[in-house]
Structure 1
Amino acid sequence: MRILVLSNYYPPHVQGGYELRCSETAAELVKRGHEVAVLTSRDNTRPTKTRLDGVEVHYGLHLEADPRPLRTALRFFLRRKRNEIGNQLLVEDVIAELRPDIVFIWGMWNVPRCVPYMAERLCPGRVVYHLSDYWSALPSAYCQYWEKSSGRRLSALPKRLIARPVLARLAQAEELHLRFQHPTCVSQAVKDNLVKAGVPIAHAAVLHSGIDVDQFRNIARTPINLGDENMLRLVYAGRLTSDKGVHTAIEAVARLVQESRTNVHLDIIGDGDSNYITMLKRLAGGQGTPLPVRFLAKVDRGQMPGILAHYDVLVFPSKWDEPFARVVIEAMAVGLVVIGTRTGGTAEVLIDGETGLVFPADDSVALANAIERLMNDRALWELLASAGRQAVLNNFTRAHMVDRFERYLQHVVAHDQPVPGGMAQS
């Protein structure tokens, strides 16, 4: 097949797991004999076209929002229409040049809707979506920018005054309705949430993500030892924002320390909201005596297997509906026990007492109790660690993921009709 992938970001510009899965899938499809090209956002620091892992990558799409708020405002007033027209022409040119059998659309947050709309118009019946976040239910990045209040006092009032007519103007603009004829979702949770939000994907197939298990299963781990003199090594790895619930993990450690369970240590790896991080560090300061909590800088994704191998338990206290948390299956693949909330797609991997332990979001007491269960029962730890790892090997490898995508794409090319969900998930 000749496959054209559309994605808001693509390596080396990576925002999160969505783009990583996209690039891994594209590279694997090339290895399987398919011709794959990617059209993604532009960056003046790199060539407009290059080849990565056998994939022809075109960097050219204009995004809406910029990390620097003032530039977003200027881009809206000075270049919005020009950029949208440029994006449409680019999609048209790339499709005319490559003549793909199928267009495979991944993350589109911050990309004008005219991009997937043009793909649907130019390749009717041959556009597949993989929805791994909630972009399809959200307003445009421009709308989100103007709806959000300014964090600076001096600019708050001017922005509020400008925002009213701008939002009215955006509301009057012609809305482009995407057909989503061939949608896939990374989890049942994402599908359910998008359907509830009114996105027309009730017929979507659920295609779970997978990881390259060879990077994880051969990692040498230090054996767990739960004697009185040894620490149960806990880790949180991810974004540090309130919706991730990291404060719950610190509160649970504080509770254990208060109960004289001092053989526990928590490392927090990542970066995020500076105000939230300040609050977390204050919480970790304890009541006069610092808690056994350490903050470590965000690490490169390629280092995660070796990093995780130094721990016994991944704490995953997220409060929001996670699409499908990659770190959970990575930790299981290494042989850690996961103690987490079952929000969003995590519930499709983390089963209480079978592949890990669960607790309600924001419930530090329940989390502390779950940690203590493992501290008191080495056999339970070994059982859960083994079952979690086996679940990943059986269902969540990269090979499984790409098999599912390949079958789905081939079915669309051959039949030009929605793929039966059961076939795609097998």
Structure 2
Amino acid sequence: MQILVISNLFPPDVLGGYEILCQHVVDELSARGHDVHVLTAAGALGEKTPSLGLDPETHVHRGLELQTPFPDAPKHLRRLRRRVGKANASITRATIAKFRPDVIFLWSQLRLTVGPARAAEASQVAVVYAINDEHLAGYAPSTFDLSAKGIARYIIDNVLMRDITLHALRLRKAAIISRCLKGKLASRGVAAEAAAVIYQGIPIERFPVKEEIGKLHDPVRLLYTGQLHPYKGVHTLIDAAHALASNASLPAIRVTLVGAGSSTYEDTLRRLAASGPAAVRFTGRKSHEELPAIYRDHDLFAFPSIWEEPFGLTQLEAMASGLPVVSTANGGQGEVLRHGDNALLFQPGDAAGLAESLGTLIRDGGLRTRLAKTARDEVAKHFTVRRYARQLEDLLELSIKEVAQ
């Protein structure tokens, strides 16, 4: 297949898991013999992650414009969105005409506007969306309310500027990473009922399992990897760590926080870390190539997210690496994690519950080993990027056939 991938960012420009997963899938599709081109926005940010399968000089085209550059706060100006949308639609049409793809594969359109998607859907080429978060809901037209601003927004979005909203899109063929995300998008006005739920995967060969599953260091090494924002619940983890460190019957504990995010929240976390007995280390952002060794160097992994995560890659990476996982389950991760089988679960924001689960794992070596081995086996069987890419490949081929009929 000739595949044109359109994404707001592409490595080495990385904001989070969306771009990393996109790169993994592109590399897998390329390795499977498909001719893949990527159309994305220009600009450097975040960590630098080399793309292994594509020649960046010939296959990655950085010509699109972001409505607001990352990491700046977004600007919700409708005239700006229309201008950027028209420019991006024009670039997309030119790229389609140049490369003549069999299928257009749309990944994150956050801050690209709906311009590229509109151009793709108008091209008569097969179109498939990979929906991994709620960003499309940001393009939903305003609903009616009786305030002056509410009436104005409703008229603009539903009459005067329908072309900058989801009114302009059909979303006929899509892959979505969890039932949870599918339901949340539907509740926010995104018509994703026909989307196929396809759970994402990781390149498991990059995450070799640690040598001694279940073994604890002294002090016990507890790991969190991810963004540092209040909705990620990292404060819950620090509170739990202090509770564990205050328990004289348990060994000493050291928490490693890998990631970056809100400077205000990080300052709050540092103050919280300094207020109790647990040792907490902030490493900042690490490249994706550094993460496998970091996982293997730790004993336990915590995922304390408070919001309903669409799914998440970090749990899979930790599970593949042989770390027992303690996690919330209110988002897409709850469709995979099972309490007492492949993880231990706790309620969002419940520091005492998290501390109890971590304490159980610290005391029970047999449970640590069983959970870690079960989780590793499940990732190897069901959550590899190779399996994920193969299912996406089937969806792309089906879309091409349906357009040809």
Common fold by TM > 0.5: yes
The equivalent residue for 1:243 is 231
Letter in 1 for 2:345: V
Q: How does 1:84-103 map to 2 (within 5 A)?
A: 84-103=85-104
Percent of aligned positions that are identical: 32
SS of residue matched to 1:217:
coil
Report the equivalent of 1:157.
none
Q: Specify whether residues 117 and 325 from structure 1 end up closer, same or farther in structure 2 by C-alpha distance, changes over 3 A only.
A: same
Q: Distance in 1 between matches of 2:74 and 2:357?
A: 47
Structure 2 CA distance for aligned equivalents of residues 312 and 417 of structure 1: 52
Q: What is the aligned partner in structure 1 of residue 61 from structure 2? A: 58
Task: Find out whether 1:120 has 2:121 as its counterpart.
Answer: yes
**Alignment-derived partner of residue 206 in structure 1:** 197
Residues 1:273 and 2:262 are matched in the alignment: yes
Tell me the equivalent position of 1:363: 350
Q: Give TM-score scaled by structure 2 length.
A: 0.87
**Residues 5 and 254 of structure 1: is their aligned pair in 2 closer, same or farther, counting only changes over 3 Å?**
same
1:60 positional shift: 0.8
- Describe the SS at the equivalent of 1:385: helix
**Unaligned stretches of 5+ in structure 2?**
46-50, 143-148
How many angstroms apart in 1 are the aligned matches of 2:83 and 2:201? 39
Query: What amino acid does structure 2 have at the position aligned with 1:282?
Result: R
In 1, Cα distance between the equivalents of 2:74 and 2:193?
38
CA contact (8 A) 1:66 1:72 kept: no
Q: What is the aligned partner in structure 1 of residue 15 from structure 2? A: 15
Is 1:120–1:127's contact at 8 Å kept on the other side of the alignment? yes
Contact residue 221 and residue 309 of structure 1 kept, 8 A: no
Instruction: Give me the whole-angstrom Cα distance separating, in 2, the residues matched to 1:44 and 1:253.
Output: 36
Q: 1:177 aligns with which of 137, 153, 168?
A: 168
Change (3 A) 1:103 1:281: same
Change (3 A) 1:305 1:166: farther
For 1:387 and 1:262, locate their aligned partners in 2 and report how far apart those are by CA, in whole Å.
25
Match of 2:109 in 1: 108
State whether residues 222 and 309 of structure 1, in contact with CA within 8 Å, keep that contact through their aligned partners in structure 2.
no
Q: Which amino acid aligns with 1:135?
A: H
Letter in 2 for 1:276: Y
Aligned residues: 385
Shift of 1:67: 4.0
Tell me the secondary structure at the aligned position of residue 302 of structure 1: coil
- 1:300 Cα offset (Å): 0.7
Deviations 1:68-101 (Å, cap 9, x if unpaired)?
769969x987x66553332222111111111111
1:293 alignment counterpart? 280
1:255 and 2:246 correspond: no
Question: Quick one: structure 1 residues 76 and 196, their matched pair in 2 at CA, closer, same or farther if it must change by over 3 Å?
Answer: closer
Letter in 1 for 2:161: A
Equivalent pair of 2:54/2:60 in contact (CA under 8 Å): no
Preserved CA contact (<8 Å) 1:265 1:292? yes
Aligned in 2, Cα 1:120/1:170: closer, same or farther, shift over 3 Å? same
CA gap 1:76/1:237 in 2 versus in 1, 3 angstroms: same
**SS of 1:200 mapped into structure 2:** coil
Secondary structure of the structure 1 residue equivalent to 2:92: helix
2: CA distance between counterparts of 1:52 and 1:223? 33
**Would the alpha carbon gap of residues 326 and 134 (structure 1) be closer, same or farther in structure 2, given more than 3 Å must change?**
same
Separation in 2, partners of 1:389, 1:358: 17
Distance change >3 Å, CA 67–CA 98, structure 1 → 2: closer
Question: 1:333–1:393: 8 Å Cα contact kept in structure 2?
Answer: yes
Quickly say closer, same or farther: Cα 1:182–1:71, change in 2 above 3 A: closer
CA RMSD of aligned residues (A): 2.9
Cα–Cα, structure 1 residues 338 and 91, in superposed 2: closer, same or farther, change >3 Å? same
Paired amino acid for 2:36? V
Post-superposition offset of 1:52: 6.9
Is structure 2 residue 285 aligned with structure 1 residue 282? no
